[in-house]
Amino acid sequence: MYLASDLRKGLKFEIDGDPYVVVGFEFKKPGKGQSLYKCKLKNMITGNLFERTYRSGDKFERADLEEQEMEYLYSDKDAYCFMHTSNYEQIFLTKEQLGDATDLLKDNTVCTVLLHNGQAIGVTLPNFINLVVTVAEPWAKGDTATGSTKPAVLETGFEVQVPPFIDQGQMVKIDTRTREYVERVNE
């Protein structure tokens, strides 16, 4: 059990059987009476956001959450297949559950899947992923302005800004948290 005094940004707990995460938090101590904890909560299954205020005596159930390493295998329309790396069981997630992770997801990528009561509810990609550039404009000699970039389309269809020396067919490292180019990868 959590107490209201345990509330902080990033804390995960259950309300009516659904897992919620605190995405915003504000503590208020009025001159008289109990302390107030104003929270912005996000439903981890539906993604809905709402605000709720709790008093210092309120209690919360811990969310039954588990993270497991799984390998992304393939997509079939709106279903994305992941396989447990230990027991080879397969589970399917929807595009809504994956969110914008689908832009950087390539076959055989090992990801962390978040499970609630044994049901998959979300995916965390590795911090860095290497992808091949499929479309990039050629570099014009003399185009050496500092900090200049050009758009490039990666093998997953994601478009990212890269330095002008990156060519089609080269592999680049992308930071999945910021969704930006990090460096060229020499194979």
Q: What's the length of the chain?
A: 187
Final residue of a domain: which of 79, 105, 124? 124
Taking the C-alpha atoms of residue 109 and residue 116, their distance in angstroms, rounded to an integer, is 22
Q: Give the pLDDT mean for 155-181.
A: 91
User: Could you list the residue range(s) of the whole structural domain that residue 162 is in?
Assistant: 128-185
Which domain CATH number covers 179?
2.40.50.140
Tell me the HSE value of 95 on the side-chain side, using a 13 A CA sphere: 6
pLDDT for res 147: 67
Residues 6+ apart with CB under 8 A from 53: 36, 37, 38, 39
Question: Do 88 and 48 have their domain in common?
Answer: no
- Is there a single domain that holds both residue 75 and residue 119? yes
Average pLDDT over the chain, rounded to whole? Answer: 87
Reported as a single tens digit per residue, the pLDDT across 94-135 is 888 887 888 899 999 999 988 888 888 888 899 999 999 999
Q: Answer yes or no: do 42 and 54 share one domain.
A: yes
